């Protein structure tokens, strides 16, 4: 499909990739240019739309599609291989999901687990909040579908551009900086309790981890950890099984969390960097605003410096850092992030084979040196040039 509004990191785009649907968003006026009955070539790989193409253009598009399918079949051979560099440095490549239906695509494409389970989809398209039992069943299904592989469950990330009509969320001047995500959960303890109890109960059926979004302080994470201990005590008293050692992590997507990452790393087992919001907040750029979309660049030296600080802070405490933003599935950025020390990449299922191939064909010592050079540069253009040159030199 194609639409007038949206960007690469909008939820429409994210869901399209999850469903493996070709899509072009943010065209501004495609709905005014196309009428019923028109034929289109939708080249989502090159961000190109051809209206009423010639027979020659159609034949060329079919050839490109056939080549894409052939390449996808070749990449499928990597399904059961680890994401390990030529010199033996291993990372994990996982998938992002919104529902249990997405698990098949992660497994089929060779994902090593779920790096982000967006639980807010459980709260959408309904008339009331999901109960503890409904959430328990949903999380259990995912745990069982992933057959023992790790599943990182992010607690409800409602607010911002994700509204729930039945919750009557307040109209805010800037909802992305307002009452959203963990702020709602901490204020509405019945929501937090039902969700965390559901996750804890489901942890008896697989390898689950809990991740909290929009954290800005150590106080928040300590309050959330105390709540988990309270709900664990309730479940013990009720004789309900759960994983006593379930790991807790933070989604680092605010400059505040990044700035105190060295403190947060002492409180949790892992970090996962949400580059979509982290880029937006670091650069003060609304990622849904087409007028300034050219300023939104996760390869900005400002953003990359923050990412590197988070990775280093976690490693200093013997913890690991993953990434579940759209940058994690950008093959152009894979080598740079690998060289920066990222431990886990999580993305849409369709991107997993390509990223795994890039990692397996690389040398960690070389990409580490390249990343060090890139991070010393003052502009995104210079950083991108270093990455592109490295890729070009290796392809000779």
Interval 304-331: pLDDT, tens: 999 999 999 999 999 999 999 889 999 8
Under the banding of pLDDT at 50, 70 and 90, the label for residue 57 is low
Report which of 269, 279, 274 is spatially closest to residue 225, judged by C-alpha positions.
Answer: 269
Rg (CA), the chain: 21
Rounded-to-integer distance, Cα 300 and Cα 290, Å:
18
Give the position of tokens 């509004």. 5
Give the position of tokens 């050079």. 373
Annotation says 103 is catalytic: no
Residue 236 predicted with pLDDT over 60: yes
Q: Are 113 and 94 in contact (CB under 8 A)?
A: yes
Alpha helices in the chain (DSSP H): 11-18, 30-33, 55-75, 103-108, 132-145, 182-187, 189-202, 218-238, 255-259, 261-264, 275-283, 301-316, 331-339, 352-360, 364-375, 380-394
Residue 17 predicted with pLDDT over 70: no
Q: Are 364 and 337 in contact (CB under 8 A)?
A: no
Q: Which of 11, 82, 89, 262 is labelled catalytic?
A: 11
Q: What is the chain's mean pLDDT, rounded? A: 90
Percent of the chain with pLDDT over 90: 70
Q: What CA–CA distances, in Å, run from 161 to 125, 172, 178, 179?
A: 15, 11, 11, 12
Give the position of tokens 């005590």. 233
Under the banding of pLDDT at 50, 70 and 90, the label for residue 146 is very high
Under the banding of pLDDT at 50, 70 and 90, the label for residue 34 is confident
- Looking at residues 149-158, what average pLDDT do you find? 97
Indicate the domain borders of the chain. Answer: 11-72, 79-394
Q: Which of 94, 103, 205, 324 is labelled catalytic?
A: 324
Measured in degrees and rounded to the nearest 5, phi and psi for residue 232 equal -60, -45
Interval 258-267: pLDDT, tens: 999 999 999 9
- Looking at residues 130-143, what average pLDDT do you find? 98
| 364: helix, strand or coil | helix
Residue 282 predicted with pLDDT over 90: yes
Q: Which two tokens stand for residue 157?
A: 């990330």
Annotation says 324 is catalytic: yes
Span 79-394 CATH architecture: Alpha-Beta Barrel (3.20)
pLDDT at 75: 61
Give the position of tokens 């390990």. 84
Residue 61 predicted with pLDDT over 80: no
Rounded-to-integer distance, Cα 278 and Cα 328, Å:
13
The answer to whether domain 11-72 and domain 79-394 are alike in fold is: no
- Looking at residues 55-82, what average pLDDT do you find? 68
Interval 83-132: pLDDT, tens: 999 999 999 999 999 999 999 999 999 999 999 999 999 999 899 999 99
Rounded-to-integer distance, Cα 52 and Cα 231, Å:
60
CATH for 11-72, options being 3.40.640.10, 3.40.710.10, 3.50.30.10, 3.30.1330.10: 3.50.30.10
Rounded-to-integer distance, Cα 340 and Cα 29, Å:
39
């Amino acid at each position: 499909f194609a639409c007038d509004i949206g960007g690469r990191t909008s939820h429409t785009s994210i869901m399209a990739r999850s469903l493996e649907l070709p899509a072009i968003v943010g065209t501004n006026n495609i709905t005014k240019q196309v009428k019923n009955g028109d034929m289109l070539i939708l080249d989502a790989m090159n961000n190109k739309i051809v209206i009423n193409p010639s027979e020659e253009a159609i034949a060329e598009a079919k050839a490109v599609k056939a080549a894409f399918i052939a390449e996808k079949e070749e990449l499928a051979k990597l399904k059961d291989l680890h994401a390990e560099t030529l010199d033996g440095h291993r990372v994990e490549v996982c998938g992002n999901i919104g529902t249990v239906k997405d698990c098949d695509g992660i497994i089929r494409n060779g994902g090593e687990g779920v790096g982000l389970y967006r639980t807010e989809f459980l709260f959408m398209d309904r008339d009331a909040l999901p109960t503890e039992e409904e959430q328990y069943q949903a999380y259990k299904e995912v745990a069982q579908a992933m057959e023992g592989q790790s599943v990182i469950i992010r607690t409800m990330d409602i607010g911002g551009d994700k509204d729930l009509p039945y919750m009557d969320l307040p109209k805010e001047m800037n909802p992305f900086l307002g009452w959203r995500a963990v702020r709602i959960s901490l204020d509405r303890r019945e929501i937090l309790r039902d969700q965390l109890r559901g996750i804890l109960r489901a942890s008896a059926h697989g390898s689950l981890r809990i991740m909290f979004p929009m954290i800005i302080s150590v106080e928040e994470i300590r309050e959330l950890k105390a709540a988990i201990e309270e709900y664990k005590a309730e479940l013990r008293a009720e004789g309900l099984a759960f994983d006593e050692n379930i790991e807790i992590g933070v989604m680092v997507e605010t400059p505040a969390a990044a700035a105190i990452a060295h403190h947060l790393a002492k409180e949790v087992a892992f970090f996962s960097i949400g580059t979509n919001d982290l880029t937006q907040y670091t650069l003060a750029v609304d990622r849904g605003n087409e007028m300034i979309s050219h300023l939104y660049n996760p390869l900005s030296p400002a953003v990359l410096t923050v990412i590197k600080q988070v990775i280093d802070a976690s490693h200093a405490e013997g913890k690991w850092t993953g990434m579940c933003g759209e940058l994690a599935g950008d093959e152009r950025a894979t080598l740079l992030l690998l060289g920066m020390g990222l431990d886990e990449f999580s993305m849409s299922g369709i991107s997993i084979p390509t990223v795994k191939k890039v990692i397996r064909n690389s040398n960690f010592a070389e990409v580490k040196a390249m990343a060090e050079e890139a991070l010393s540069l003052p502009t995104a253009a210079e950083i991108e040039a270093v990455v592109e040159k490295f890729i070009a030199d290796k392809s000779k």
